[in-house]
Structure 1
Amino acid sequence: MVESLSNRDVPDRDALAPFEALLGPGGVLTDPSMTARYTRDQRDLMQGDTPAVLRPHSVAEVQALVGLARTHGFGLVPQGGNTGYVGGATPEPGRRQLVVSLERMTRIRAVDPLNFTLSCDAGTILADAQKAADADGLFLPLSLGSEGSCRLGGNLGTNAGGLQVLRYGMARDLVLGLEVVLPDGTLFSDMRTLRKNNIGYDLKQLFIGAEGTLGIITGVVLKLWPAQGQRATAWLELAEGAPIPEMAALVRRETSDLASTFELISASSLGLVTEMRGAETGLKAGPGGAVLLELTASSDRIPLDDVLMGCLETLMERGWVVDAVLAQSETQRRAFWAVRETIPEGEKHAGGSVKHDIAVPISRLTDFLDRAAALLAERLPGVRLSVYGHVGDGNLHYNLVVPAGHDRLAFTREIEQGFAHDLYAIALEYGGGYSAEYGIGRFKRDLLERYADPARLRLIETVKRGLDPDGIMNAGALV
């Protein structure tokens, strides 16, 4: 394993010289003032350490640096935009791990408007990939709050979800082809653009969601859709006891599955945004919270506003929605979305939060929320709750705001050692899970070991040993 490799008595300065010769000027960062942003996780929960950050330009350089790492006893931690929430891209102190950042590998390799595919380097920023598709009248549906800084390699390594999973699926559902440098330095290249491909095992799926523990993703072929030229967006104020699963199902039926977004926003989460801004948002939550609903279509022939209005009328007739505001312009639509996307910042402004990224089957969402609310009232009365998320696909961000006067890290440890396990137990009882879109990383590894089926753990370990017997790839993350 990496620990045995790292015992070799080789001064890091001398061992890094071959990497500098390989990667050239700017390719190896060692100054702590330059490496600091690569060694601390997004949530400031972990301070890592690295002898150097490697910044290759090409796939060939990635292959070569993997070979050098093996020779000189270094571990490797692949890193995208370092926007993850579970410490999966943070090098651990004492492990002698080099960060491999693909931030200089950002080439758009090809856009095929007739095949509806985009091929690009894994270091491409998600927003840049979206723009490349848009330039050819196409649409890449993967969309995250961090899309201006997260990179495709990280999105695939964590199997990112995001705002439009309801209609288009997770990151793994959008991938047709993949290119990966394996732990022995060889290249697995499966950059095919085929829609139908049944040639044996679908090996690319091994690396999606593997968090860089099986290899370094260097290239990807993504599915695209026709550009969504029409949007109809509404902010719904929910009645008390509004049945979220029934609402989501009705919306899908009544809109012929044109709904791309169904986002639940609690009154408490909306309040955090208002407090941070120091002014009203112009939007309200009903007794049951609010939903941001958006329909999209590629054809102007579809009367999207009429479809949305008809759906809203049905929701109101059933008493589930007490009021609704329809966006009358792109500016107003963006204002709706700004509220939704500012919730994490609102939590931070209030003192931070303990985040629980939970998924349950959509049909059990209301059951979960009711049970979790009762648990919170019993165990942590007075603690402020912020609940929001992509409930159209069963994903809830169930976050506890750090009480005033409490140390954020101490409160986080307290919750994670007690209340969180009872919360996860409820989710698991309903067939859910404790990681919907961020992965396992370093922060949730104990949860995987605690809750995963033993057969699943054995398979994970078998795959890891088979592809990375020396454990040089992201040791400490996931497994």
Structure 2
Amino acid sequence: MSHAIHDRAFRDLLGSGGVVDDPERISTYVTDQRQLFTGAPLAVLKPATTEQVADIVRLAAHHEIGIVPQGGNTSYCGGATPDASGRQIIVSLERMDKIREVDPLSMSISVDAGAILKNVQDAAASAGLLLPLSLGAEGSCRIGGNIGTNAGGLSVVRYGMTRDLLFGIEAVLSDGTVVSDMRKLRKNNTGYDIKQCFVGSEGTLGIVTGAVLRLAPLPIRRSTAWLKLARGVPLAELLALVRRESAELLTAFEFMTARSIALATDAMTNPPSVCAGAGGAVLAEIASSSRHLDVDELMEAVLAEAIESGWIEDAFLAQSGSQRTAMWQVRETIPEGEKRRNGSVKHDISVPLSSIQRFLELADTQVRSYDTDLELSVYGHVGDGNLHYNVLVPPDADRVEFTKRIESSLSLQLYDTAAALGGTFSAEHGVGRFKKHLLERYGDFGRIAAMRRIKTAFDPADIMNAGATVRPLRNATLA
């Protein structure tokens, strides 16, 4: 079947608005977020309904055309990028962006998978509720992609990952069958929890088209503090103190090194006058939906205890909404600061909380032994054991070549250290195309075998995002 015939068949299904044919527009879909790889899709399709998604899948399956589901195309691991074969289509969910229902009493929101995360947050807030999922890319990432990567973000320490926020799901399987399980139930013990199969699957099992998400009471009082850390501070013990003494109201505990802070402030027009202590800095926030709780008083008492312990050199409480926003802007601008400096080689490390300090010590030794001239940007959601341990690309280096060199050498040393401490190479970025070899290197044999069996059961012909995450059994190199 020729390209022209394929194009006509897809247009018959979707109408002219459902097929992207402008080369300039197509270019925004075919390159990954970090601009490390550009694919060559047969077509870029934009269905408007679940029924159209099912029609696309059935047609593609009949002609053995591969499918790459795409939300906001914000994957750091190439999970939404087609290969170079010209035998895959991109199915973008961006037209499927409706808020289907907000149910304040059930504390849930039902949405299309193409809904932008920020828009879902706003819809929840308009009903006096909170969608706890919060990411740096929330203005462009979409719910289907959040589910596909089990996105984490800034509030995992209190509310959990995307997996913990998912009540129900709607998805299209590789033969066009629609799985409709859009229930708002906290308890639903009726056999296999099928929706959880799609969490972290990165489009390899089917296309998520809708979701029901758990909401929480909307915080109306927040206390935000900037902590200048003493050298050698035991981060896990400091975190444990803050969590315990704040009565589990801690919503964020973000660690930043001095270099990461400098990168962010250099990229800001009006940066706040905040800096790191000898051990870096932490942005901590507690929040409450109660009108009766003085969270600033609570935070001050917690910090007084931490300062007395010698773990904190100094601490500053945001005195206004604008000060709070400025503190958060520093944290959220770090990735942009890295990008402006020629980018970074990203290491999305996860280790047990008790091993964070040990990882930082061992990793620092490894980096210095590898190349004393390397600069690091280290920050992350240490409240949940996630560190973004990034190696800065030298200003005069070719970013792609430098990335390849580091990822084939130093990166493996860092991942070895994380694995030895009971951690992993991907905390929240997923596996995608770029980290599939790492899954095979570090993954448990039995777990990978189970993943391949699931992939084979859902997608025996391997048309759903082939080349990402895991191979089905028939193509597996590991038996």
Provide the rounded CA distance (Å) in 1 between the counterparts of 2:264 and 2:270. Answer: 9
The corresponding residue for 1:158 is 149
Query: Within 5 A, what are the aligned runs for 1:303-382?
Result: 303-382=294-373
Verify the 8 A CA contact 1:30 1:51 in the aligned structure 2.
Answer: no
Deviation at 1:16, TM superposition (A): 1.9
CA distance in 2, matches of 1:281, 1:449: 44
Q: Deviations over 1:417-466 (max 9, x none)?
A: 10011100110011000000010000000101111111111111111111
* Letter of the structure 2 residue corresponding to residue 343 of structure 1: I
Matched letter for residue 461 of structure 1: R
- Tell me, in whole angstroms, the C-alpha distance in 2 between the residues paired with 1:478 and 1:30: 29
For 1:154 and 1:50, locate their aligned partners in 2 and report how far apart those are by CA, in whole Å. Answer: 19
1:245 aligned partner: 236
The yes-or-no answer on 1:406 pairing with 2:397 is yes
Residue pair 2:267, 2:333 contacting (<8 A) in 1 also: no
CA distance in 2, matches of 1:297, 1:186: 43
Deviates more, 1:268-277 or 1:201-210: 268-277
Q: Deviations over 1:219-244 (max 9, x none)?
A: 10000011111110010100001110
Alignment of 1:394 with 2:385, yes or no, is yes
Could you state the TM-score of these two structures normalised by the residue count of structure 2?
0.97
Please tell me whether residue 167 in structure 1 is matched to residue 162 in structure 2: no
What CA distance in whole angstroms lies between the structure 2 residues aligned with 1:278 and 1:98? Answer: 41
CA distance in 2, matches of 1:30, 1:13: 12
Does residue 16 of the first structure (1) align with residue 4 of the second (2)? no
The counterpart of 1:283, out of the listed 274, 285, 305, is 274
> What amino acid maps onto 1:340 in structure 2?
R
Percent identical: 53
Compare 436-445 and 195-204 and name the one that shifted more.
195-204
Q: Does 1:216 align with 2:225?
A: no
Q: What's the counterpart of residue 195 of structure 2?
A: 204
CA distances 1:26-60 after superposition (whole Å, capped 9, x unpaired)? 10113321210000000010011112111011011
Q: What per-residue deviation string (whole Å, max 9, x for no partner) do you get for residues 156-181 of structure 1?
A: 00000000000000000000101110
Equivalent position SS for 1:457: helix
Contact 2:271 / 2:326 at 8 angstroms: preserved in 1? Answer: no
Secondary structure of the structure 2 residue equivalent to 1:392: helix
* Cα RMSD after superposing both structures: 1.0
Residues 377, 389 of structure 2: 8 Å contact kept: yes
What is the alpha-carbon distance in structure 2 between the residues aligned to residue 472 and residue 202 of structure 1? 23
Contact 1:262–1:292 (Cα < 8 Å) also in 2: yes
- In 2: Cα distance, 1:327 partner to 1:225 partner: 24
For residues 375 and 90 of structure 2, the distance between their equivalents in structure 1, rounded to whole angstroms, comes to 37
1:280 is displaced (CA, Å) by 5.7
In 2: Cα distance, 1:259 partner to 1:415 partner = 36
How far apart are residue 22 of structure 1 and its match?
A: 1.0
* Match for residue 446 of structure 2 among 437, 455, 458: 455
**Separation in 2, partners of 1:423, 1:402:** 17
The residue that corresponds to 2:109 in the other structure is 118
Distance across 1 between alignment mates of 2:19 and 2:98:
20
The 1-side partners of 2:248 and 2:31 are apart by 41
| 8 Å Cα contact 1:53/1:99 also seen in 2 | yes
CA shift digits 1:110-129 (9 cap, x unpaired): 11111100011000000000
Output the CA distance in 2 between the equivalents of 1:426 and 1:291: 24
Q: What are the Cα deviations for residues 71-124 of structure 1, in whole angstroms up to 9, with x where unaligned?
A: 233110000000110000000001511000110111111111111000110000
Task: State the match for 2:79 in structure 1.
Answer: 88
Equivalent in the alignment of 2:127: 136
Structure 2 CA distance, aligned partners of 1:200 and 1:15?
39
Matched with 1:7 is none
The answer to whether the aligner puts 1:473 opposite 2:455 as a matched pair is no
Unaligned runs of 5+ in 1: 1-9
Secondary structure at the aligned position of 1:57 is classed as coil
SS at match of 1:92: coil
Specify which of 155, 160, 177 is matched with residue 186 of structure 1. Answer: 177
Deviations 1:250-287 (A, max 9, x none): 01001001000000010110111233347764101000
Give every structure 1 segment of 4 or more consecutive aligned residues whose post-TM-superposition deviation is greater than 2 Å.
Answer: 274-281
Q: Determine if contact 2:271/2:330 at 8 Å carries over to the other structure.
A: no
What letter is aligned with 2:37?
A: M
Query: 1:319 corresponds to which letter in structure 2?
Result: G
Shift of 1:404: 2.8
Answer whether contact 2:348 2:426 (CA < 8 A) is retained.
yes
